Amino acid sequence: MIINRQNYQIWIIDYYDGQLDNFQAEMLMDFLSKNPDLISEFEYYTELILSADQVNKFDNTSLLHTPEQLTNEQVEHFAIALTENDLDENQRKEITELKKTDPRFRKNINIYEKIKLEPLDTMYPDKSRLFKIPVRRKVIIRLVNTVSAAASVAIITGLFLIFIGNRDESSDMLVSADSQSKYNTGQIEKDRPPLIDITEDLPSYITARSDIIISKPVINTEIILPETLPVNELERIHIKPLEAMGNINLQNTQYQYLLAETLSYPASYPGIYIEKPDMSVREFIAYHIRKDILNDNDPDPERLKAWEIADAGIKGFNKVLGWNMQLETAENESGGLQFISFTSELVKFDHDSKKNEPGL
């Protein structure tokens, strides 16, 4: 910046403040020599400079107050500062001491310590919607859901058919044969090829609530009865295994059964009431789905396989809706799925499976 008559005062002030370097100071002096009317003004500025001893010291002790002199608002301010941890160590000690001696500090600090919100137990209700699921996992979940739904339909259909089927073929007959009977939870064997002839054994043992000895297992087996039972009032023989089937050796061992009950004996039908060994719900469902829906001649209560459930569902749909779908499967030696074929009016599908599908 070039010095001129419009800005020379800034240069003079900077000169006295020591802000000009040697070159700039020489410029100022050169300017003053060319403008001698300004020299008196330049000298006047020397009188405006204060020396250190001329400055009165400010008495900051006037700002100090005793606790009694503090206003309520100031006390509140200190109380909040203490509870918000805004004070340094010395201030904190000082205020803490005042809390012990000064009732205003004590009251305010106590109050502001308590004016702190504690989070409520409110939870975000739609959290599950916020989670992001990888696409692959999403597909798997949908697949599992679909299969589960299909399995549920199949099971419900199967159970429906089991109970409806039993009513049609057995239970109703049982009830009609003996509407007074309280034994309506078992199985009636009739009109089937006899495999065991206990005709010879039975007469000697057939007394009410007595034991009979049968030389072969009767569970899941047809039994032939004597044409005329020796007990006049016998309608149905209720044979109950004394042991669980799992504990019985099935090979050439004598099995002891309790003749648990004898009922009135009509001339028309001498049925046998054979109580099945205890089964879990899962075994019960598996056994009856195989026996009543899949028409398995030798059903077992083992865990159902996925394709068996699907087959049961398809048969259920066919029966209920009149469709004509078919599912054919072949198992390998280890019981895994080797081949599956699905046929309907619209779709035909077959596939050689490489892996065993998991059971239900």
Query: Nearer Cβ to other proteins, position 119 or 193?
Result: 119
Strand partners, 189: 272
Per rule CB under 8 A, is residue 136 in the interface with other proteins? no
Residue pair 67/103 in contact (Cβ under 8 Å)? The answer is no
Per rule CB under 8 A, is residue 88 in the interface with other proteins? no
Of 308, 286, 294, 295, which is closest to residue 357 (Cα–Cα)? Answer: 308
State the number of CA atoms in the 13 A half-sphere of 256 facing the CB: 5
Query: Nearer Cβ to other proteins, position 99 or 238?
Result: 99
Amino acid at 140: I
Residue pair 229/240 in contact (Cβ under 8 Å)? The answer is no
Per rule CB under 8 A, is residue 129 in the interface with other proteins? yes
Residue pair 307/329 in contact (Cβ under 8 Å)? The answer is yes
Of 32, 76, 311, 337, the residue at the interface with other proteins (CB under 8 A) is 76
Q: How many chain residues are in contact with other proteins, going by CB under 8 A? A: 25
Q: How far apart are CA 357 and CA 360, in angstroms?
A: 9
Scanning 125-133, 253-261, 294-302, 339-347 for contacts with other proteins by CB under 8 A, the matching segment is 125-133
Per rule CB under 8 A, is residue 347 in the interface with other proteins? no
Scanning 2-10, 129-137, 157-165, 241-249 for contacts with other proteins by CB under 8 A, the matching segment is 129-137
Of 127, 182, 209, 355, the residue at the interface with other proteins (CB under 8 A) is 127
Per rule CB under 8 A, is residue 106 in the interface with other proteins? no
Query: Nearer Cβ to other proteins, position 107 or 276?
Result: 107
Burial of 125 (0-12, 13-18, 19+ CB in 10 A): exposed
Of 103, 125, 193, 358, the residue at the interface with other proteins (CB under 8 A) is 125
Which residues, in sequence order, are CB contacts of 248 under 8 Å at separation 6+?
217, 241, 255
Of 30, 43, 84, 352, the residue at the interface with other proteins (CB under 8 A) is 84
Task: State the residues that interact with other proteins by CB under 8 A.
Answer: 76-77, 80, 84, 86, 111-112, 114-120, 122-127, 129-132, 134
